Homo-oligomer: A and B are copies of this chain.
Amino acid sequence: MRRLFVVIAVLFIICINGIAQEKKLSLEDAVLRQRGFLAPKNLPGLQWMNEKELLSIMSDDWTSIQKIDLKLNKSLLLTLEEINNALETEMKSVPYPDWKNGSSFYFNFKNNYYLFNLNEKSGRLISTLPEDAENIDIHKVSGRIAYTRGKNLFMSDNLKHVKISKIDEQTEVVCGQSIARSEFGITKGTFWSPSANLLAFYQKNESEVANYPLLDINVTPGQLNSIKYPMAGQKSESAQVGIFNPKKGRTVYLKTEGEKDQYLTNLAWDPSEKFVYVVVVNRNQNHIRFNKYSAEDGSFVKTLFEEKHPKYVEPEHPAWFLPNNPEQFIWMSERDGFMHLYMYRNDGTLLLQLSSGNWVVESILGMDASGENVIVSGTDSSGLDLHAYSINLKTAALKNLTVKPGYHNLSLHPDGSLLIDNYSNLSTPRVIRIIDTKSGEEKSELLRSDNPLKEYKIGNVELHQLKADNGTTLHARLIKPSDFDASKKYPVLVYVYGGPHAQMITNSWLAASQLWMQYQAEKGYLVFTLDNRGSKSRGFEFENVIHRQLGTVEMQDQLKGVEWLKSQTFVDSSKMAIHGWSFGGFMTISMMLRNPGIFRAAVAGGPVTDWKYYEAMYGERYMDRPDENPKGYNNSRLANYVKNLQGDLMIIHGTSDDVVLEQHSLSLVKAFVENGILVDYFPYPMHKHNVLGKDRVHLMRKILTYIDDKLK
């Protein structure tokens, strides 16, 4: 096989050195204030009102809601005093309005839910939920609210409360909550029909799912916090979809035949409210059926289409029905190798592939004002940019609405005419502007942020392109100290993630880096990151090459990064360290143990160490079941390589991590101990999969101090 040499192309070199670069970034500010005063300026709470060409924003101190038009005329809508007086509440800041229309909005204060009318300066209490209400789901037109308490589902309608499910809290059935550990794009458990005449909901039976014990040390004596955790290859949950009819007070369940542990995903209502669509994924995750069911009696109507793939199929976006043509919907699929749009008729007829090519649709934003085009967000062909595109529903003609290079966060006006385009790129901290969805023309620039770091000593953030063994382009990011001197040699910290559904590098402000990297660079380091194959925004094949062999190809690509670093004259390759969290923790330890001798120090946080301990939904998608792929599981099992350790490794884990269980790191530590090999560990008591809040400063200090010490 022809081995392609690594080709290096410096894409951008951005010198964000301003004039008065004197302030030293503290670790505390780097960790806690990246989205605070160190972030580019923003317009707080900016959103479309449900009214032509009008937006609302919050005053900087959140004591009033203001209106703004495209000519940047600002006017006061409502003050905190007015709303507190009207409702006899004691709010400390104005609530974030959920606009029903241009003159009224929903909001809640504690457990009270209101509809507030701007013209009358008065609000109507639409519901008071119990204190323990969770998973609250408001239907904006009707004001109906679905919510859960414990394992049961409830709804409120005009201050009346109805208990929908009748589940004994002692059983292991849960109603109205997210299922499948929120994989397959599932984020919630309730789905109002378009006019809220019906409520679809998930119900899961977890009685066969193993309990995993967590320890709560905040009480005396320490107590058991038992969670349900279906590991790869183990018995899993079994899901149902119920349809509750509030008028009849009756629930029917969809007749979703098939394996008990199949996944019921991407639930969508037919605009007629007569049907519900569920994408049924088999446990093997290599075959999906797009099924239509009767919302009246739950009966199965038809499989509209199926998708199969020898590796896996991963549907994540429910069918999107055309507002102006309720018999047609758009389906997002990776079937041609990239996430693209397919227009279907509701009988299952494929009408048209709407998008194609080497780029990835991220989400559907809505229709444009003409009703002839769908507006989507999607990457460019490099995977670094995110843009708004208009796609013609008849011709599939594609138009980029946001030509300026960068990462565009978008919000479509309800009437489809305008977009809020909030974007940044390596040289632009933030611009907020309004663009026309027809022409892409800029109607108004609302904000252009200054460099929020201009007073700080901060070095360069560079993007580079490297080539994988097979010629695939890989993006890399290099952060240098402000006083970088190419004639010197610098130690390197490699930060890695490496897993699917994530991308560390984009063409956005600071290239999506975290400010602790700049902090560390100022200590005299180079901080390097590479998005290996397996990561996001580069298409299905780029991702699915990891199938059944997690870690393998990812490492090959990371080694290309290492090779590149070592070839730089300014790199001290005797002083390299690596750090990553979660999948990045798995990668960090894999790099240390399977490629020993490269890194002198490593810190792995919340790492997967053996895929058999990871959850079924994600784990089996990429690795199949342990009994189907013993070689793959064994090759990636880190305990098999403990004897290879060279240099220092610290493992960090939150003791209440319910995503990557502490069993991962403890079992690896046990293997180190049994083999007489020294390793370091640090637990973050009561922290979950990430160490968040103020303790994150401690975490980063722990990590970076460790690396400093070990590279000394």
Contact = CB atoms under 8 A, between A and B. Distances in A.
Given A215-B213, A669-B683, A221 B663 contact: yes
A694 to B, nearest CB: 8
Contact of A685 (B612, B661, B667): B667
Given A224-B211, A663-B222, A697 B680 contact: no
B673 A685 contact: yes
A458 to B, nearest CB: 24
A217 interface: yes
- Tell which of A211, A214, A221, A224 has the most Cβ of chain B within 10 Å: A221
Given A666-B685, A674-B695, A680-B682, A231 B224 contact: no
A678 interface: yes
A224 B221 contact: no
Interface stretch (A237-245, A426-434, A459-467, A698-706): A698-706
A234 interface: yes
A549 B213 CA distance: 35
A676 interface: yes
A222 B214 CA distance: 10
A224 B226 contact: yes
B217 A663 contact: yes
19 contacts: A210-B223, A212-B221, A213-B214, A213-B222, A213-B224, A215-B215, A215-B666, A221-B234, A221-B661, A221-B663, A222-B613, A655-B666, A669-B683, A669-B685, A673-B685, A673-B698, A676-B701, A677-B698, A681-B682
Interface in A220-276: 220-224, 226, 229, 231, 234
A133 interface: no
Contacts of A229: 221
Interface residues of A, number: 45
A274 to B, nearest CB: 42
B221 A210 contact: yes
A553 interface: no
A-B CB proximity, top 7 nearest: A213-B224, A670-B685, A222-B663, A666-B685, A210-B221, A217-B663, A213-B213
A685 B664 CA distance: 11
A11 to B, nearest CB: 38
A71 to B, nearest CB: 48
A606 to B, nearest CB: 15
Nearest to A216: B213
A380 interface: no
A667 B223 CA distance: 13
A369 interface: no
A676 B691 CA distance: 13
A661 B222 contact: yes
A96 interface: no
Given A220-B234, A670-B685, 4 more contacts: A210-B221, A215-B662, A669-B683, A673-B684
Interface in A589-634: 612-613
Nearest to A681: B682
